[in-house]
């Protein structure tokens, strides 16, 4: 039996619980919209929406019943896992968890940084991600599963990129040290010093829990499906060539 686990809005589940129908990896299941009233589309508005389908009210999915009906269809294709991607100010993790329980559906929530932040403290921003991944988001115990960051044609905030890269690099380094083999005593001492330095970095990012918890949280986010492109951009500062 596999020991691999996946963090969902209902807690950790075995990877084997995911059905073979696949994972919907970039969905917007429910979002928080305080400036748009969630109303049904009136019949007299249908013609206008056919001409202007990108009207905001037609694209926003904040109606829980409507979202439930959409997700209900996944059972027809043997799929039971969805990754919900939203920014910090749009996510609604409490409703996501309720819907997950109602449908017996595995929903993975995302964490991100405010792309308008003016902070230059990389460790503080990385710490925000750690809290969401390890302890819970928005004053709940619902943990994030993936890291999501919006990008645009305008220059990306370098502090945000460095904060995410800090978690990514630390995770890769620690995973690599598990398989390191020393050829002599001095090499062993050097390797131990390297590991100690990484653990000290992890300690600065944690908050009252063992350092291994930070490593586990990073690993869960990075092992999630289809975030390779995000981390490639974070690590290299450019998009991956096709």
Q: What is the pTM of this model?
A: 0.56
Helix (H, G, I), strand (E, B) or coil at 168: helix
The CA-atom distances, in angstroms, between 12 and each of 16, 38, 107 are: 12, 32, 11
What pLDDT score does 114 carry? 78
Read off the tokens for 125. Answer: 């921003």
Beta bridge partners, 173, equal: none
What pLDDT score does 143 carry? 94
What pLDDT score does 122 carry? 82
Assess contact for 108 and 9: CB atoms under 8 A. Answer: yes
Assess contact for 149 and 235: CB atoms under 8 A. Answer: no
Q: Domain segments of the chain: what residues?
A: 1-111, 115-242
Between CA 150 and CA 111 the distance in angstroms is 11
Read off the tokens for 145. Answer: 């599963």
User: Along the chain (242 residues), what's the average pLDDT of each consecutive run of 10 residues?
Assistant: 77 90 81 56 65 55 79 86 87 91 93 77 85 91 86 62 70 53 59 56 47 50 50 43 54
What pLDDT score does 192 carry? 56
Q: Which of 221, 134, 131, 208 is nearest to 172 (CA)?
A: 221
What pLDDT score does 81 carry? 92
Between CA 121 and CA 113 the distance in angstroms is 13
């Amino acid at each position: 039996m596999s020991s691999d686990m996946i963090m969902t809005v209902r807690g950790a589940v075995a990877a084997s619980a995911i059905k073979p129908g696949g994972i919907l990896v970039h969905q917007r299941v429910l979002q928080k919209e305080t400036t748009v009233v969630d109303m049904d589309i009136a019949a007299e508005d249908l013609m206008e929406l056919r001409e202007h389908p990108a009207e905001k009210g037609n694209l926003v999915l904040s109606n829980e019943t409507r979202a439930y009906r959409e997700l209900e269809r996944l059972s027809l294709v043997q799929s039971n896992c969805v990754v919900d991607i939203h920014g910090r100010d749009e996510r609604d993790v409490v409703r996501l968890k309720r819907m997950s329980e109602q449908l017996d559906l595995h929903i993975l929530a995302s964490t991100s940084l405010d792309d308008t932040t003016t902070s230059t403290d990389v460790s503080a921003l990385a710490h925000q991600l750690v809290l969401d991944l390890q302890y819970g988001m928005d004053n709940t115990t619902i943990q994030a599963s993936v890291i999501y960051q919006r990008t645009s044609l305008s220059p990306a905030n370098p502090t945000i990129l460095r904060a995410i890269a800090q978690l990514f690099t630390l995770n890769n380094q620690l995973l690599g040290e598990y398989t390191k083999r020393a050829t002599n005593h001095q090499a062993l001492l050097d390797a131990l010093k390297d590991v100690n330095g990484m653990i000290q970095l992890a300690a600065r990012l944690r908050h009252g829990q063992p350092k291994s918890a930070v490593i586990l949280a990073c690993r869960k986010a990075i092992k999630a499906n289809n975030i390779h492109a995000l981390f490639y951009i974070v690590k290299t500062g450019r998009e991956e060539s096709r």
